[in-house]
Structure formats: structure tokens, C-alpha cells
Amino acid sequence: MSLTEKPGTAANPVSGSMFSWVSKDARRKKEPELFQTVSEGLRQLYAQKLLPLEEHYRFHEFHSPALEDADFDNKPMVLLVGQYSTGKTTFIRHLIEQDFPGMRIGPEPTTDSFIAVMHGPTEGVVPGNALVVDPRRPFRKLNAFGNAFLNRFMCAQLPNPVLDSISIIDTPGILSGEKQRISRGYDFAAVLEWFAERVDRIILLFDAHKLDISDEFSEVIKALKNHEDKIRVVLNKADQIETQQLMRVYGALMWSLGKIINTPEVVRVYIGSFWSHPLLIPDNRKLFEAEEQDLFKDIQSLPRNAALRKLNDLIKRARLAKVHAYIISSLKKEMPNVFGKESKKKELVNNLGEIYQKIEREHQISPGDFPNLRKMQELLQTQDFSKFQALKPKLLDTVDDMLANDIARLMVMVRQEESLMPAQVVKGGAFDGTMNGPFGHGYGEGAGEGIDDVEWVVGKDKPTYDEIFYTLSPVNGKITGANAKKEMVKSKLPNTVLGKIWKLADVDRDGLLDDEEFALANHLIKVKLEGHELPADLPPHLVPPSKRRHE
């Protein structure tokens, strides 16, 4: 019985269905408000609004398998890609500070499998065939790549604090030459593309000693197209070459990447030596420390940004699914009903570029949203066009409604979730090694200089600053802001920076500087001129001795 019927009356099939449709539509518009979490919201939106469009136009046969619950719930994943012996497995070992099952390290191509390094209660290995039937893992759709791949895929699980927050995917070293590409027995680039769609960060590793990018590596990087926002580049083993050579190597790497990654933006490259051994050439130690710290911060932010990444990937997928629907329906429309189907199919495949342009014009779609032309032509060769579906506007309208309204509501939820979990960062392993203590990045440098000294660190240069102070006409032991400004602007620092220095140095907030405060201002100017950042608040060790009793 419909909600619109009265008891004891016959249902009017037309009005009943109409009113039930209206009530469903009203419910559909209210649904986003009922979502408890962003992951739940994304899962429901995908199942109710995007999946019907994908299935209707065979999206999964052309682009990417359907998403499952595990894809929305899994931890952030980091994918490591690189040629053999660039230090991928050692990089993982460095991050988690622990050997993992199945780990092999050596100068020869040692890792010949995809290894998902994940958290588990006990150490152990789960083989690929068992992994792809586990509904709790996000790998079920990998069974499409067959036994040749599954025999080369496993999960190494172990209890580790780093893996509490992220999972890491180790990949086989990329080789050069045709033989290796053929002998894999599965489409290596396609597997990496599958992972690229689902991971939060892709790290391309290069060895400072061998920068040549093989054909297969070039093919792999091109397969990562549309995921440039996830890519970071690591120039590893940089401690094995001198500074001058390192500059040349860095330039050569940027030139090589510029030819393959077709984006106007420069890819972020982190330079360093990512293992726990002593640096062979320690000249660039500070650079390596700063770069490692930046990379660690980037990886540590992944759990906090995981929901936003999943939201972004769903939007990308929805845009591609819409374009795919227009392509398939256009091909269906052009096909004859009875005769000449094969010849028309060949003609349509050859003229696919023109169909792209027509769809682009008619529906105001950006060229960047279209799938790769050559790949699409190859996939269409094996398809039966007569089984394609005509355009169904209702399915497209549903996806448009999702993109215009539901996604906007989820964006608000993402921010709310982030504000409730501000401390959600990767902890443990190498991430804890530089957090606190004297080996934290920048400890004892810049504004941190003298942090452990008994004496006030500014005191050693105070006699020099006092000479200047007494030339600035102090009254009652203090100089005015105008007089202090005359001296401070000689540093040529911008007014915004000098204003911050003044705020930090005027400890008693009286708008004047005494000799200690003036010395402190000059010390902070020196810190800034040496290339260090100013602190947001004055650290306790920099507070002038006479002011410490007020603190």
C-alpha cells in the first residue's frame, strides 16, 4: 500500500506511482543530512547515484572496476614506484624502522612482487589469491588481472605504529628493455593505474647515480596521467655525490620529467638519503634534513586529508562517467539498425576524435575530462556497438544533482571532521625520530639558538647593540618607536617583518624599547637575515633576563 492511499480504497496506479516518485525524490534530497560520516556519505552517493550510470554505459569494461565498501573505508595508501635498485624497499624500511615479511633488498632487481605493507595483529604474509577474496581489503577487483599478477601480489602485515595510520604499496623495480616488459605476463602499467586511482600519494623514486628513464618507466609515468596531484618525486642516494654534481643531476631530472609529465607546474622533488646509514658525503646534511622533514610532513598529513582525497576522486570519476555516457550514446545513435554495422563501427572508431569535439561543443565539456583517445579506440574495437545504450537524461541528471548539491554538503562535513580530529597524523617509526629533542629539525638554530644555554643567548652580542642603542637618544633608559625604526630599517627587511620583530621584542608592551629589548630586536633581525623563520611567540629562552620575573 502506498503512503498516499486511504485504507479500503483501490490504488490508482498512475497517481500512486506519481506520488511515490515525488516522495522518493524528496527523500533523496534529504539523504545527505542523514550521513553520519563522509565515508558513509560517499559510499551511499556512489551506490545510489553514480553506479547506475556506470553500469548502464559499461563504464567498468572501459575504465575502472566498480568501487566497493573497502575503497571508502580503507586507510590512506602510499604507492612507491621506481626503477630497480632506487631504494623503494629500503625507503619503507626507513619509514617503519622494522623489517617486514617478504622484504628483500639488494643492488640487483630483488622485489619482483607488489607487496601491500599493512597493519595486522601478527607478522605474516597473505598471498594475492587470498587477498582478492577478502571483503575487508580494498583489493578485490584486482582479480581481473589474472593469476600471472596474483602470483606476484601479496600483503605483508605486521604490528607497527606507522601502519596504524597508512598502508604502503611496494612495487617491482622497473626494468629497461622489451624482454622484461613481455615476460611479466600481466599489464604492469594497467595495474599501477588501478592503484593510482585508489592511493593517496604516489612517490616516484630516482637514484642520483642512474637517472635514465627506461621505456617502461616512461610508459608507467604516462599511465599516471590525471593523478599528477598525488605525485611526489624523491631523488634518493643524493649523499653519494658532491654538491656540484647534485645540482647537475637535479637539473637533468627536472628536464627528463618535464618531457614526460605534461603539466605546467613543476613536480615537487625531495632530495636526500632515505635510509639509516651514515651520510657518505655530509656536505648537504642540512638540505637533506629539511627535505626529509618536508616529505614526512606531506606523508603525515595524509590521514587528515583522506576524506577530502576520496571526495576528490569520486568527483573525477563522476566527470569521466558522464563523458563516457555521452561517448557511448553518441556511438549508439550513429549505428545503423540492420545493414553495414561492421563498416560503420570501423568508421566511428577512426573518427572518434571528431565525436569527442562534437560532444565537447554540445555539452560544454573540458577537453581534459575526455579519456585517452588511442586507448579508447583500442577498447572499442572489441565491443558490440549494437548492445550500447542510448542517452538516458535521468541518469545524467542524477549525477549532476550529486555534483551540484550532495558533494557540496559533504564538503562541509569534511571540514567538520577535520576540525574534530586535528591531531590525526602518522606516528611512530622514522616520524618520531625527529619530533622532539636536540635532533628535531632546526633545534638550536635560528630563533632556537641558545635554547639550552644558562646565559641569555643575546647577551654575547649585547655590547655591540648597546653602542647603537645609546646613539638613538634614549630617555629614561628607553628609545621611542620612531628612533628604533631608523635603525631597524637599515636591515632592508620589509615592514611586515620588522613589525613582527617589534611586536616580539617589545616584551612589556609599553611601545618603547629598553636596551635589552633593543638587543633582542637586533638578534631577531639577524635570525631573519640568516634565512630562518621568526617564531610566532617569543620562546622563553629569548625573554630578556630583567623581564623573566614578569613571565
Is the pLDDT confidence value at 111 over 70? no
Cα 82 from Cα 73, distance rounded (Å): 28
Rounded to whole angstroms, the Cα distance separating 438 from 124 reads: 36
Task: Say yes or no: 253 and 325 in one domain.
Answer: no
Is the domain of 120 the same as that of 232? Answer: yes
398: domain CATH number is 1.10.268.20
Contacts of 370 (CB under 8 A, 6+ apart): 323, 356, 359, 360
DSSP letters spanning 276-318: SSPPSSGGGHHHHHHHHHHHHHHHHTHHHHHHHHHHHHHHHHH
Q: Pick from 420, 436, 470: which residue ends a domain?
A: 420
Instruction: Identify whether 87 is part of a domain.
Output: yes
Average pLDDT over residues 51-60: 91
Same domain as 83, residue 60: no
The set of cell numbers assigned to 7 is 485504507
Whether residue 475 is found in the same domain as residue 334: no
Question: Based on the structure, what is the number of domains in the chain?
Answer: 3
* 21 assigned to some structural domain: no
**Which residues have C-beta within 8 Å of that of residue 69, sequence separation ≥ 6?**
43, 135
What Cα–Cα distance (Å) separates residue 537 from each residue in 140, 257, 455, 493, 518?
51, 41, 20, 19, 17
Higher pLDDT, 209 or 521: 521
CA distances 41 to 33, 97, 266, 408, Å, are 9, 36, 34, 12
The pLDDT value recorded for residue 522 is 93
What is d(CA 417, CA 426) in angstroms, rounded to the nearest whole number? 17
**Do 61 and 78 share a domain, yes or no?**
no
Which residue range forms the structural domain that includes residue 372?
Answer: 39-68+308-420
Percent of the chain with pLDDT over 70: 87
Residue 129 has pLDDT above 60, yes or no: yes
Q: Is residue 464 part of a domain?
A: yes
Q: Are residues 466 and 493 in the same domain?
A: yes
Mean pLDDT score of the chain: 83
Residues 361-387: what's their mean pLDDT? 87
Cα dihedral 85, 90, 92, 95 in deg (nearest 10): -140
- Integer Cα distance of 163 and 118 in angstroms: 6
Q: Is residue 25 part of a domain?
A: no
Q: What is the pLDDT of residue 466?
A: 92
Joined together, the cell numbers standing for residue 513 give 624599547
Residues 60 and 86 in one domain: no
Q: Is the pLDDT of residue 12 over 50?
A: no
Check whether residue 119 and residue 173 sit in a common domain.
yes
For residue 496, is it within any domain?
yes
293 in any annotated domain: no
264 or 517: which leads in pLDDT: 517
Sign of CA dihedral 356, 358, 359, 364: positive
- Residue 154 shares a structural domain with residue 270: yes
Tell which residue, 74, 244, 224, 62, has the closest CA to residue 155. Answer: 74
On whether residue 297 sits in a domain, the answer given is: no
Residue 5 has pLDDT above 50, yes or no: no
Identify whether residues 233 and 258 lie together within a single domain: yes
Q: Above 90 in pLDDT, residue 275?
A: no
End-to-end CA distance of the chain: 75
In terms of average pLDDT, the best of 56-70, 100-114, 405-419 is 56-70
Q: What is the mean pLDDT of residues 210-236?
A: 82
Instruction: Please check whether residues 335 and 392 belong to one and the same domain.
Output: yes
The domain boundary, picked from 217, 247, 282, lies at 282
pLDDT at 23: 42
* The three cell numbers locating residue 152: 606476484
Among residues 364, 398, 420, the one where a domain terminates is 420
Q: Give the domain CATH number at 139.
A: 3.40.50.300
Which pLDDT score, from 0 to 100, does residue 323 have?
Answer: 92
Both 266 and 336 in one domain: the answer is: no
445 is a domain residue: no
431-475 confidence digits (pLDDT tens) = 776 555 566 656 667 778 888 888 899 999 999 999 999 999 899
